[in-house]
């Protein structure tokens, strides 16, 4: 699945990083707790989150996540968008809730990794 597939499946809109749309996504993680993301996520994952602060971008930076989807209509701030652009991270927004957004990606073949 590519970033563009994620955008299409979640009826999302690009905030930035549309030029990254062909990059491959191998797994997904849905969480509002960044330490959980740091503990469990392997690379080439998409992060779905309802958390909206600069540490989301930093967390993604540390583990080489290059696509973040903000759920429930959350909108990243200008500072976050600038940070994401500097790091080549695509930001998407969707109005779907976490459970549904994760389910829609799962339904289309994306998985979240092995049990811990």
- Length reported for the chain: 116
Shortest distance (Å) from residue 108 CB to other proteins: 27
Between 13 and 62, name the residue whose CB sits nearer to other proteins: 62
Shortest distance (Å) from residue 18 CB to other proteins: 24
The interface with other proteins within residues 31-60 (CB under 8 A) comprises: 32-36, 38-39, 43, 49, 51, 53-56, 58-59
Between 37 and 102, name the residue whose CB sits nearer to other proteins: 37
| CA distances to 18, 38, 55, 60, 63 from 47, in Å | 16, 11, 13, 8, 11
Q: H or E element: which one contains 11?
A: none
The interface with other proteins within residues 59-98 (CB under 8 A) comprises: 59, 61-64, 79
Alpha helices in the chain (DSSP H): 3-9, 34-40, 54-62, 78-86, 98-107
């Amino acid at each position: 699945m590519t970033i563009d597939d994620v955008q299409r499946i979640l009826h999302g809109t690009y905030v930035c990083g549309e030029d990254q749309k062909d990059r491959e996504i191998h797994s997904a993680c849905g969480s509002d707790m960044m330490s959980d993301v740091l503990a469990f996520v392997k690379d080439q994952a998409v992060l779905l989150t309802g958390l909206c602060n600069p540490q989301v971008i930093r967390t993604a930076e540390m583990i080489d996540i290059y696509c973040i989807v903000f759920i429930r209509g959350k909108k990243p701030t200008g500072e976050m968008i600038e940070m994401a652009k500097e790091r080549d991270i695509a930001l998407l927004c969707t109005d779907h809730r976490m459970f549904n957004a994760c389910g829609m990606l799962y339904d289309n073949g994306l998985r979240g990794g092995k049990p811990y």
